[in-house]
Structure 1
Amino acid sequence: MKSFLWQTVSSILFLTAFSTTATAVVVAELKDPSWESVSNIIAQIDPPVFPERDFLVTDFGGIGDGSTDCLAAFQAAIAECAKAGGGRVVAPAGRWLVKGPIHLESNVNLHLEKDSTIAFSTNPQDYLPVVLTRFEGTELMNYSPLIYAFEKENIAVTGEGVLDGQAGESRWWNWKGHWGGADETGWKRGDSDQIEDVAKLCKLADDGVPPRERIFGADHYLRSSFIQPYRSKRVLIEGVKIVNSPMWVINPVLSSNVTIRGVTVDSHGPNNDGCDPESCRNVLIENCIFNTGDDCIAIKSGRNVDGRRLATPSENIIVRGCTMKDGHGGVVLGSEMSGGIRNIFVEDCQMDSPNLERAIRLKSNSLRGGYLENLFVRNIDVGEVSEAIVSINLQYWGESGEFFPTVRNIFIENVTSQKSKYPLYLVGLPEEPIDFVYLKNCKFYNAAQPSIIEHVDHMYFQDVSQPR
């Protein structure tokens, strides 16, 4: 790999010799989309609105003592709320145990008052019967997510309370198997894990088996997401704290007009991504805190054959005012992105932890394919990351195939970091180089090593430095 070290770049710098016409192309790409697109996207996001009616779970037999199963009370309150035309289903202060998933209906806002906690069962059998969901970007019939909505509209999870998946006290995390170089989940040699099921699911998808015939659930070991609106519209998740998720935490799939605001995610299990919009359109993620065991925010669009079958990109997504602590990446695109990702805007975020590996991360390979285009990043304050401030890796996981991913139009502006291994780690493919990467007004302090850049076409720096 080639390494590049710069000290100060006060004007646009060509890393290799390109014609001046390439600069004009970069300027053209800024017009549509550009940062001016953000207001248009916001205008298209139509947040849910609910009648001023409350349905307290205590009125339906719920007891917040932490030991009484309140699932039936939540189900009854949700049904009555939906029947009445909508409103809030309210969990007052207390600890509300539910032995099974909460399924939302249209026009229902699940609201947690201050000092309330909804604690979910740790028994996977409580999440049957199976529902249509996704596991790592592939559709299947599996255990229900803990909070699930299928083809619903005008739904929300709000409040000042806590959603506790209790996954650290259960077998959920164990199903990952050998993780992180140590048996960190309590898994021991000979215990069941997800490895065979993951391979089976991928083969079913590759063979074209319809999703509703890919039946897992009982006697299988594929974990569920925590909150998953599936094929839903006008979704709001606001204010709550979410801890101890079985797997991905907030995972809207094939949904539109999604707002995630003021949420705190503190979940350090395997694959505990904080927020994973998959094949979603018009999404706003703002003023959230992520402290996770995997990527903080990871934007996705389906895996391999299944992602190409649905061919639904994630697009028009805004991330702003968020704080990222532990995680594999702050804002991430990929790796399950076979349906494509485009028009992503990230601004005014803080990222800082010795356990945060990267700030901005794009990952794919030639087995997954797809495209990642039009990423705009500005005003990012990075304290410390353990690897790169900006990482693009198109040789992710060592997988290869015949679907070379396209990555182009990456604009990074006003990013300052205090400590990292590399400023940039950009590794494309010889068959499909990364194309058009533009950095402006960036300062990467105390980087231990120079950047690594391989197979990148049309890269430009303006006022970029690596001070010591």
Structure 2
Amino acid sequence: MSSSRHTRRDVLRGAGLAAGGLLTGTGFATQAAAGVDAAGAKPPDQWRLVPHILGRIRPPTFPARVFPITSYGAVGDGRRKNTAAINDAIEDCGRSGGGRVLVPAGTFVTGGIRMRSGVDLHVAEGAMLKFSNDPKDFLPLVLVRWEGTLCYNYQSFIYAHRQENMAITGSGTIDGDAPNGPWPGWGAGSTPELRKMGEDGVPVEQRIMGEGKRMRPNMIQFVDCRNLLVRDVHLRNPAMWTLHPVFCTNVTVRNVHIHSTNSQGDGVDLDSTSYAHVAGSRFDTNDDCVVLKSGRDADGRRIGIPTSFVVVERCKFAGRWGGITVGSESSGGVHDVFCRDCEVNPPDFPGRYPVKHALYIKTNSDRGGVVDGVHLRNIKGRNVEREVLYASMYYNGGGSGKHYPTLKNLTVDGMTVTGGRKAIHLDGLPESNIRDVTITNSDFTGIAEKNTIRNTGNVVLRGVRVNGEPVG
């Protein structure tokens, strides 16, 4: 079969994601693609979906068995590498039916960690997992999605593939130590080569990156997994994106502290992932904070799995770009995303950079994909560097293709923000307008410029004030 005729199932099978993978039999991808709730119809008040979504998200539980990594020879002296000891503890825990792998107080240097079903990796108070600066410690190559394109690359610092019922917990620290490694100098690596492979439909198993390609690994990537919990931990200094579930379902991120230092240092990237709850977490990032993605360009469209049924609440955002971000790799679609009761650049959590956009939706004519249903409620903020609400189909100049994206069904209610270049920037393509936008009961002050609303349809502003003046 030629690469141009690969079906979605062919692509998944070639990537090891079908034929027994967790995507089969769960039903979430079919339901997500339809954009419906369990009863088969979207209710008139879309916020009524939130209890249904949260009711479907259940963090995993674990047997009361403890596997201390020190029992496997790990030494927390900040010098010795403990890769084998940590992975042996995880393997033993998984084989025994699950439990807690305990990282006690101390600094434990390690290479790549492979998570297994049934394992709660618990980083206790006073404990630190500190990752090696040697790229060889993250071999062999594994299946990853790298900025929206599937390939084989270095494994993330913590990695899992086709596992379930896993957690990373505890009030300790997981430190990628990336500023002291080779990663900052790698930049985007062999991105053009990989992009071309994705566009040409090269089989995934032939997209070999890794050594010599200078493509940085994520800190944590779970691929084709379900029933995941990340709670209480401090995640610092990733080489690239911090927490990146791909093709996952039933994901809980709660009370997590993220501090990223490198460019491309996103916080939480939900990528072709459904039924996810991000709550009570703090983001100090060198890029976007919470990001909704679903694959890039032809590779994302071939697979066609959206990110959907997401609730983000009670979070604090500080970062170089967006608080809530959609894209730019959203070719598989995004729908039914809800964000409420969050703060942007809060005074008690200023971060290193001010957020540029409270809502940042970015796409173009190379991407395609349908973004349907992004809803914000009760968002407060200050000192937003650019446009508070930004949705544009001209990302990176608008692209050069004919895969016009769809962006519709955007609502904002009860937003209060002081400071920003513009309150609202909606910029659709002539071939594909941004449609069905409703902004209500919101107050923007200290705004420098007028709103931009171009190539749109059915935009409703009700009870909206900019610098004290009603707009509508």
Same fold (TM over 0.5): yes
* Residue 123 of structure 1: how far off its partner (Å): 1.2
Which of 274, 293, 303 is the aligned partner of 2:267? 274
Superposed displacement of residue 174, structure 1: 1.3
Give the letter aligned to residue 451 of structure 1: N
SS of the counterpart of 2:442?
strand
Pick from 220, 226, 240: which aligns with 1:227?
Answer: 220
2:392 alignment partner AA = N
Residue in 1 aligned with 2:403? 403
- Give the structure-2-normalised TM-score: 0.88
| Residue of structure 2 equivalent to 1:157 | 168
- Aligned residue number for residue 371 of structure 1: 370
Q: Is it true that 1:104 corresponds to 2:115 in the alignment?
A: yes
Where does structure 2 lack aligned partners over 5 or more consecutive residues?
Answer: 1-40
Q: Check conservation: 2:174, 2:233, Cα contact below 8 A.
A: yes
Per-residue CA distance 1:108-137 (angstroms, 9 max, x = gap): 010000010000001112111100001101
Q: CA deviation at 1:32?
A: 4.8
Match of 1:323 among 302, 316, 328: 316
CA positional deviation for 1:415: 0.1
| Alignment of 1:37 onto 2:30 | no
Taking the TM superposition and a 5 Å limit, the aligned residue runs for 1:50-449 are 50-98=62-110, 100-176=111-187, 194=189, 197-352=190-345, 355-398=354-397, 399-449=399-449
Report the CA distance between 1:46 and its aligned residue.
2.4
State the shift of 1:30 in Å: 7.9
Q: In structure 2, how many angstroms separate the alpha carbons of the residues matched to 1:400 and 1:263?
A: 39
Tell me, yes or no, if the aligned pair for 1:81 and 1:89 is still in contact at 8 Å: yes
Q: 1: CA distance between counterparts of 2:409 and 2:45?
A: 10
Q: For residues 173-222 of structure 1, what are the alpha-carbon distances to aligned partners after superposition, in whole Å with 9 as ceiling and x for unaligned?
A: 1111xxxxxxxxxxxxxxxx61xx11100111111111111001011111
Q: Indicate conservation of the 8 Å contact 1:141/1:214, yes or no.
A: yes
Aligned-pair CA distance for 1:325: 1.1
CA contact under 8 A between 1:408 and 1:436: conserved in structure 2?
yes
- Matches of 2:175 and 2:132, distance apart in 1: 9
Cα distance in 2 for residues equivalent to 1:212 and 1:33: 44
Tell me the distance in 1 between the aligned counterparts of 2:290 and 2:55.
23
Decide whether the 8 Å contact of 1:252 with 1:276 is kept in 2: yes
Tell me, what secondary structure is at the counterpart of 2:415? strand
Q: 1:11-50 residue pairs with structure 2 within 5 A?
A: 31-32=43-44, 34-50=46-62
Distance in 2 (CA, whole Å) between partners of 1:30 and 1:461 is: 23
1:33 and 1:366 map into 2 onto residues whose CA distance is 31
Q: Deviations over 1:322-348 (max 9, x none)?
A: 000122000001110000000000000
Q: Match of 1:18? A: none
Deviations 1:383-407 (A, max 9, x none): 1110011000101011221110000
Would you say the 8 A contact 1:47–1:235 is kept in 2? yes
How many residues are matched?
421
User: Is the Cα–Cα contact under 8 Å of residues 320 and 354 in structure 2 kept in the other structure?
Assistant: yes
Distance 1:168 1:133 in 2: 22
- The whole-number CA distance in structure 2 between the counterparts of 1:375 and 1:207 is 32
Q: Deviations over 1:252-275 (max 9, x none)?
A: 000000001100001121100000
For the structure 1 residues 30 and 84, does the alpha-carbon distance in structure 2 shift closer, same or farther, using more than 3 Å as the test? closer
Residue identity in the other structure for 2:461: F
**Contact conserved, 1:268 with 1:294, CA < 8 A, in 2?**
no
Counterpart residue number, 1:180 = none
Q: Secondary structure at the match of 1:369?
A: coil
Could you tell me how far 1:47 is from its partner in structure 2? Answer: 1.5
Contact 2:43/2:49 (8 A) holds in 1: no
Shift of residue 149, structure 1, vs aligned partner: 0.6
Name 2:3's counterpart in structure 1. none
Name the counterpart of 2:9: none
Report the alpha carbon displacement of residue 40 of structure 1 after superposing the two structures with TM. 0.3
Higher relative contact order (CA 8 A, sep 6+): 1
Distance 1:305 1:430 in 2: 22
Is contact 1:156-1:235 (8 Å) kept? Answer: yes
| AA at the equivalent of 2:175 | D
The answer (yes or no) to whether the contact 1:253–1:279 under 8 Å persists in 2 is yes
In 1, Cα distance between equivalents of 2:232 and 2:59: 15
Query: Deviation string for 1:340-372 (max 9, x for gaps)?
Result: 000000000000156211101111001011011
What is the CA–CA distance in structure 2 between the aligned matches of 1:434 and 1:56, rounded to whole Å?
53
RMSD between superposed Cα atoms in Å: 1.2
* Counterpart residue number, 1:23: none
Instruction: Give yes or no for contact 1:102–1:147 (8 Å, CA) kept in 2.
Output: yes
State the distance in 1 between where 2:93 and 2:338 align.
36
TM-score (norm. length: structure 1): 0.89
Instruction: Please say if residues 33 and 343 of structure 1, whose CA atoms lie closer than 8 Å, have aligned partners that are also in contact.
Output: no
Q: Which amino acid in the other structure matches residue 288 of structure 1? A: S
Distance in 2 (CA, whole Å) between partners of 1:314 and 1:403 is 19
- Alignment partner of 2:258: what SS? strand
